[in-house]
Chain A
Amino acid sequence: MTTKLFANGLFLLQDFPTELQISVDLSWYLSLSAILFTIGVVGVIIKRNAIAMFMCIELMLNSVNLTFISFSSFFRDVNGQLFVFIVMAVAAAEAAVGLGIIISIFRNRESIDVDDASVLRG
């Protein structure tokens, strides 16, 4: 890794005499992904606005994408990147459908506050 970055760095910045000696571990990518996922989860639970919930869901899906990519890159396995494609497609479809549902609910209730959708409450 270091050699590659170093090579890239050399290629791009041939004037610079110094090198960046930082090593970026896999664990960094994974922790970023975990943090993003957690933020997404908390947001899904806390947020009352349906669109905000959806944004958090998208955030969760993207953090998962990041995980797949990082694994794929570090272990040189292209299957991870393939799965990311699928996840992205699903995310898009789901967002479309979900937004359609939200609009339909809004047309009925004039509100997209999730707490108001409690007709089934005992």
Chain B
Amino acid sequence: MLRYIIFAPLAGALINWLVGRRIRNEIFIGLVACGSVAVSTAFSFYLAFKPDGVLHSTAPVLDHLFTWISVGSFRADFGLAMDRLSAIYALFVTFVGLLIHIFAVGYMHGDSGYYRFFAYLNLFMFAMLTLVLADNFLLMFVGWEGVGLCSYLLIGYYLDRKEAAEAAKKAFIVNRVGDWGFVLGIMLVFFLTGSVSFFAKEEQGVASALQTIALMPAETFAWQNIFAGGITSLAVLLFIGAVGKSAQIPLYVWLPDAMAGPTPVSALIHAATMVTAGVYMIVRCGAIYTQAPTAMFIVAVIGASTALFAATIGLAQNDIKKVLAYSTISQLGYMFLACGVGAYIAAIFHVMTHAFFKALLFLGAGSVIHGTNHEQDLRRMGGLRKYMPVTFATMIAGWLAICGVPFFAGFFSKDEILWKVWSAHTEAITGDFGKVLWGIGALTALLTAVYMTRLMVMTFWGEERFEEVEAGRQADEAHAFDIGEKPHKPESATAGSRPHHEPDITAHKPHESPLVMTVPLVILAILSTAGGLVGVPYALSGGAIENYIEHALEPVVHPQTSSQEGGTTPQIQFLSPPPLEIDGAPAVGHTPAEAAAAETAHSPEEIYTERVLMAVSVALALIGIAVGFVVFRRRPLLRFPRLLEEKYYVDEVYDATIVRPIEASSREGLWKIFDLGVIDGLLHGIGRSIVQVGSVLRYLQIGFVRSYAAIILLGALAVIGYFAYVFVTSALLQ
């Protein structure tokens, strides 16, 4: 039954592409698109929540479609598997995806490529669900590439905008760099274990690569292990793939540019789903990472540094979507930081809550953009809360969630991560370094609160600046063009490359968005507020409210070594088929063994430390909000240092060091020397030589009688000479 989850959106995409293109009826296209995702959502929920479903037993649901590749000892099936990890992903991907589809029905209204948009969006859902539900590395890579493709198609959706096309190319190419690492990782997995499957399937005779690795001896924390060709190399290669897909340092540069696509695309792909694929992959391969402390160290360091780095840049951006883009990069950094210290459950929890509040923030931004007639520059907004009350209220929920205000969703997940980082106790990350990482995370949390407050204040509070004619970047202009808004007169354009809105834009006052756009916002606001309650930590609730998500994921995710006391081998019970004593155990409720373990794992000192840290992060969040409110209410147009505003000139550096040399060598070397010189030269040379031979042979039929006579003479001489030669030599031989 799992196959319907993936194939429903694919069918929707095909129907929209083939039929929707003909009939061009927005209602039909919207219904098909949202309906197919709704089917996926329904199936996911059913399979997860049914009485013997995935959330009630630790056995995964498998669906083997067909044997895709079987060559020698290499075997990759087109098989799907939903265990608790992929169930959680499938649930929020389909549900948030459904809400975004509904939102996009309203947002893209009037656009001429309506069918194309929804066809691509459905194709994206197909690819993402394939990624999440795949039961082996290769099929996951198919989904991985598919989401990259759909990202390209959707970022470049506005065909008439060069920047969208450039951004789409950039996204795909940078992603490809990551994919290089991923593919090498897949090859190495096969080389080390003989299998590329996550799960062991006896009927098909497939072993689980992850279990094989878990049974191999763990590697030590040593830098040369990265190049040793063992588990650490594998982990690092897979992480390179994750860095590309999930926009970490150094491959994050595509994500801010990807904001050139329509806002629902930014919400779905670049906030909630595609970028979390990297985290999914790392958690799925938790067995590999736990055996490779060097890799985990790298993951944690890159995660932490990306989080801080992106937060500083986000502080200085003026485009509402760019702020949210850098915020996404920063939050992804948190997730990788969590993975790096072994807190996989915390990472997944944050993925889930982040999907809720980031999708909310992006859709809210989309609503703001729609309501202000495609204004995206924060400096030209202000005081919008009286024009767009619903958007304002829902965005408050998202804002408080991302800042980590209790008891919104972000508070629980972010706090869980910070606590796990502080108390990290792995081979690579000892106590002191864990506290350094905590410090970076806490600083980032403060900055997050500041820049998100800045965004909210500049948009919704203060004086109304949208009537001023100031230079501002409007990346969504083609959207305006498409839906028949006023065209831009060339005389109002300045020396910059883009035309401006005309002064009489005040004729359009900002307005609230239609219901089809605000209802998803409300639903996401509810989820952002209450969604964190599935993961209330023991320290807060004292066991009264169960930490649902931790108990759900514990059997399927490799347990973190910090919960073990010194040196015991980790339990290998995270994959199918699970050991019989846990089979059939419900996710809800404790077995006596678990209850005993829970009590010993939560000692009073730990609870005390956790509560203190929680108080510190709440304080940081509130300080950040207060600072942001005070500073930006007074001076909304406060400018930040040029360095931050220009994103540390990273794009320019990449351009100068990588892009230009490649372009130059391609142009001078490959094109001029090889293509024009060698290949064209060869062809022209063949032509020329044939012409030269021809120019000699033309005398045969030139119409010049005397040359005929001469050629006859030459021919006769040749023949006679040959016979004379034969005669003489045979005469001499005798």
Contact = CB atoms under 8 A, between A and B. Distances in A.
Interface of A: 41, 44-46, 48, 114-115, 117-122
Contacts of A44: 709
B702 A122 contact: yes
A48 B705 CA distance: 10
A98 B704 CA distance: 18
A48 B707 CA distance: 12
Nearest to B698: A122
B706 interface: yes
B719 to A, nearest CB: 15
B711 to A, nearest CB: 10
Top 9 A-B residue pairs of the complex, sorted by shortest distance between their CB atoms:
A121-B703, A120-B703, A118-B703, A114-B705, A45-B709, A45-B710, A44-B709, A121-B702, A118-B704
A121 B710 contact: no
Contacts of A119: 703
Contacts of A46: 706
Contacts, number: 28
B706 A45 contact: yes
Contacts of B704: 115, 118, 121
Contacts of A45: 706, 709-710, 713
A51 B713 CA distance: 19
6 contacts: A46-B706, A115-B706, A118-B702, A118-B704, A120-B703, A122-B702
Contacts of B73: none
B278 to A, nearest CB: 70
Contact of A41 (B698, B705, B713): B713
Nearest to B703: A121
A112 to B, nearest CB: 12
Interface of B: 698, 701-706, 709-710, 713
Interface centre among B698, B705, B713 (most CB of A within 10 A): B705
B588 to A, nearest CB: 95
Nearest to A121: B703
A59 to B, nearest CB: 14
A81 to B, nearest CB: 24
Contacts of A41: 713
B710 A118 contact: no
A122 B713 contact: no
B705 A118 contact: yes
Contacts of B705: 114-115, 117-118
A114 B706 contact: yes
Contacts of A117: 705
Nearest to B717: A41
Given A41-B713, A45-B713, A122 B706 contact: no
A108 B709 CA distance: 23
A45 B701 CA distance: 16
Contact of B701 (A48, A114, A122): A122
B703 A122 contact: yes
A52 B701 CA distance: 23
A120 B707 CA distance: 13
Interface centre among A45, A115, A119 (most CB of B within 10 A): A45
B409 to A, nearest CB: 87
Contacts of A115: 704-706
A19 B587 CA distance: 144
A115 B704 CA distance: 7
Contacts of A121: 702-704
A121 B700 CA distance: 11
A25 B573 CA distance: 117
B676 to A, nearest CB: 32
A118 B706 CA distance: 10
B510 to A, nearest CB: 79
Contacts of B706: 45-46, 48, 114-115
A114 B704 CA distance: 8
A44 B711 CA distance: 12
Contacts of B701: 120, 122
